[in-house]
Structure formats: structure tokens, C-alpha cells
A = this chain, B = another copy of it.
Amino acid sequence: MRAAVRIFHEQGVEKTTLGDIARAAEVPLGNVYYYFKTKDQLVEAAVAAHCAQLDTLTAQLDTLPDPAERLRTLVAGWVDQRETAARFGCPFGTLASELDKRDDGLDRAAAQVMRALLDWVESQFAQLGRADAAALAVELVAAYQGMSVLTNTLRDPGLMAAQGERLRSWIDGVAGR
């Protein structure tokens, strides 16, 4: 499962063969099919893994007392991953984009995870007393997804560092200090 998530991110779902995943996980190809009956089920499990990771992350952030600090820490985490983003893009955003090109229902599962992130961010802005929390959440998450695309396409992690700084200031402004 861990190997699948990593290889899907690095190579993309469509370009990845089950042989690639079996090799990365150091198991024979046949074993993959013992736990996942089809490639689609592996993709579904990968989406679920991203969902679980988001839950873990927001649970950690929720231990911080200040909503603005939670958002700044979220952004800092994105910036920390800038080298990976420069090489392979946002681990979840690139997966969601790829699933949207398919006609099965897996793109809806990806939408739920993205929705969960938006809802959590919106909740932070709402706690800061912002009536436009929903729009601010879209703005923040879109900024991250967009700078991931640019960072990846131009292979420049510095782009994400710079935009991260900007987002930090922006959060301070929105939080009203």
C-alpha cells in the first residue's frame, strides 16, 4: 500500500503498472492480486490512504490553540514538502487531477478528500470570525494547488518557498493583526 501511494505519485496512476508496484514493495506480482483484486481497488485504497493522512494531519493541527497558527503550520508543512512537489507535484492534487480524466467513480472519492480539506480550512477562518470563511478557504487551498503546479512544471522549489511566505503574511492579515 505504501509503495503504491508513492509510485502512483511519482509516475502517475496510468503510467504505473502493477509490476512497478510489486517491485517497489519487493513482493511478487501475484501477491498484489491476493490483497487487491483489481488495479482500481489499489487506486481506491490510495485515495483512502490520502484521506487518512489528512485526518491525522488536521487532528495534529487541532491541538494548536490558535486557528491562525494552525493555518500557518499547515502552510509550513506544504513548504517543507517543496522538493517533492518540484519533482512530482502535490501528492494529492496530481492524483485528483488524474482521476478526473476517468469515467469511473474514483474521482468522486478524491473530491470528498479535497472537500474535507476545504471544510477544515474554512472552519479555521470561521473561528477567526470571518464571514467569508468559505471563499477564503478556496483561496488558500487553490493557492497551494496552483503553486504546486508551477513549482512542479518549472522544477523550482523556491517558488513554493516564496509563495509560502506570502501566504503566511496573508493569513496574518486575514486574521486581523
Contact = CB atoms under 8 A, between A and B. Distances in A.
Nearest to A86: B100
A88 B114 contact: no
A15 B110 CA distance: 18
B142 A12 contact: no
A2 to B, nearest CB: 19
Interface in A100-123: 100-102, 107, 110-111, 114-115, 118
A81 interface: no
Q: Which secondary structure characterizes the binding site on chain A?
A: helix
B11 A101 contact: yes
A93 B150 CA distance: 9
Give the copy number.
2
Contact of A153 (B11, B107, B147, B149): B107
B147 A10 contact: no
Interface in A79-106: 88-89, 93-94, 96-98, 100-102
22 contacts: A14-B15, A15-B101, A88-B100, A89-B97, A93-B149, A94-B97, A96-B149, A97-B153, A107-B153, A111-B153, A111-B154, A135-B162, A138-B150, A138-B159, A138-B163, A139-B143, A142-B143, A143-B143, A145-B145, A146-B148, A146-B149, A149-B149
